[in-house]
Chains A and B, each alone.
Chain A
Amino acid sequence: MNLAVGLNHFLLLGALLFVCGAVCMATKRNAIGILMGVELVLNAATINFVAFAYYNPIFQVEGQIFALFVIVLAAAEAAIALAIVLNFYNNHMTVDVDTAEELKG
């Protein structure tokens, strides 16, 4: 019951999720879409942590604990970001981030 696929497979999958999240953050104009991109990036980091916990005995516990921390912090980040988005929607009646230009210099 041991995996024959190596660490690189997981790291490549994590890199793919990271790139998807980065492109999602760059291309979406909906603020909630940007939030989804952030979730993808955080999941990529979590995959890397758990894969290192599996393949490297040094990180056997640390990898999973850091993954748990990342999950909890992602939940906190999603809550505060959605609150900000709702506040922005209350003020501007849209969630298009291109209209958030009041602080432009």
Chain B
Amino acid sequence: MALTDVLFYLLAAMTAICALAVVVTQNIVRAAAWLLFTLAGVSGLFFLLGADFVGATQLLVYVGGTLVLVVFGVMLTAQSPFINMRISAAEWGIALSVGLLLYGVLAASLVISSPKEPSDAHVPREELADSTLLGQALLGQWQASPQGNMTGLPPGAQPHRRLSVSYLLPFEIVSVHLLVVLIGAAYLARAKRRQMTSGGTGVPPVGRSAGEQQLGVRA
């Protein structure tokens, strides 16, 4: 067994066990910690698959950004430890059986539909897409899918050999989408101002939420 296979099994076991622990644990802070190890294992698998840029992005964005957001969300919504947020054993049984059934269906469909010959054909390591190639594909300066066989064409039609697919427009859409979403999130989660600071009559205005009233009382 080669070293890479040992690495794969180590990383896969780490990812799978930590993902199961995210589901099983009841403490939300521990679930965040298990999720951290799951995401790190997934990024290790990306490095193993030769996708260096995707692995680095996974580490930066997920482990560095999203998980910090989740941990801050956990801290900002901290509750007293006496609130019971557990589910009953019957619901656990239903969830476990449904999950096992779903995994059985997925795994069986994989095993049944996979070709019989061993699929050891893969892209040579020196031809794997590095960050330069990814950037060129985003800009459309690269002939995407050189070995791709186009299907669905009428019998006489010749496919364009120099099919150049640019991912520049999706990239721009995603970046503008991210900007809009972050502005919207900042607007949505902004701190509420107290309305009754000047008057001080003690009569809360109509329509104030419970959280604001409690914050107002606390302030």
Contacts and interface: CB of A to CB of B under 8 A. Distances in A.
A4 B3 CA distance: 10
B196 interface: no
A67 B54 contact: yes
Interface string A65-87: 10111011111101110111111
Interface stretch (B124-132, B152-160, B198-206): B124-132
B19 A27 contact: no
B144 to A, nearest CB: 6
B162 interface: no
A54 B51 contact: yes
Contacts of A55: 119, 121-123
Interface residues of A, number: 78
Contacts of B210: 91-93
Interface in B56-92: 57-58, 61-62, 65-66, 69-70, 72-74, 76-77, 79, 83, 85-87, 91-92
B75 to A, nearest CB: 10
Interface in B101-152: 102-103, 106-107, 110-111, 114, 118-123, 125, 127-129, 133-134, 137-138, 142, 144-145, 147-149
A83 B53 contact: no
Given A27-B87, A69-B170, A69-B174, A64 B62 contact: no
B61 A43 contact: no
A6 B13 CA distance: 16
Given A8-B110, A36-B22, A46-B42, A89 B35 contact: no
B95 A75 contact: no
Nearest to B187: A83
Contacts of B69: 78-79, 82
A86 B77 contact: yes
A95 B80 CA distance: 12
B76 A65 contact: no
B203 to A, nearest CB: 20
Contacts of B144: 61-62
B57 A32 contact: no
Q: Which 7 A-B pairs have the closest CB atoms?
A: A90-B211, A83-B189, A83-B185, A83-B188, A15-B106, A23-B99, A76-B181
Interface of B: 1-2, 4-5, 8-9, 12, 15-16, 19-20, 22-23, 28, 31-32, 35, 38-39, 42, 45-46, 48-51, 53-54, 57-58, 61-62, 65-66, 69-70, 72-74, 76-77, 79, 83, 85-87, 91-92, 95-96, 98-99, 102-103, 106-107, 110-111, 114, 118-123, 125, 127-129, 133-134, 137-138, 142, 144-145, 147-149, 167, 170, 174-175, 177-178, 181-182, 184-186, 188-189, 192, 209-212, 214-215
16 contacts: A4-B5, A5-B8, A9-B8, A20-B20, A24-B23, A33-B28, A37-B22, A40-B22, A43-B42, A55-B123, A61-B137, A71-B58, A75-B61, A75-B178, A79-B182, A92-B211
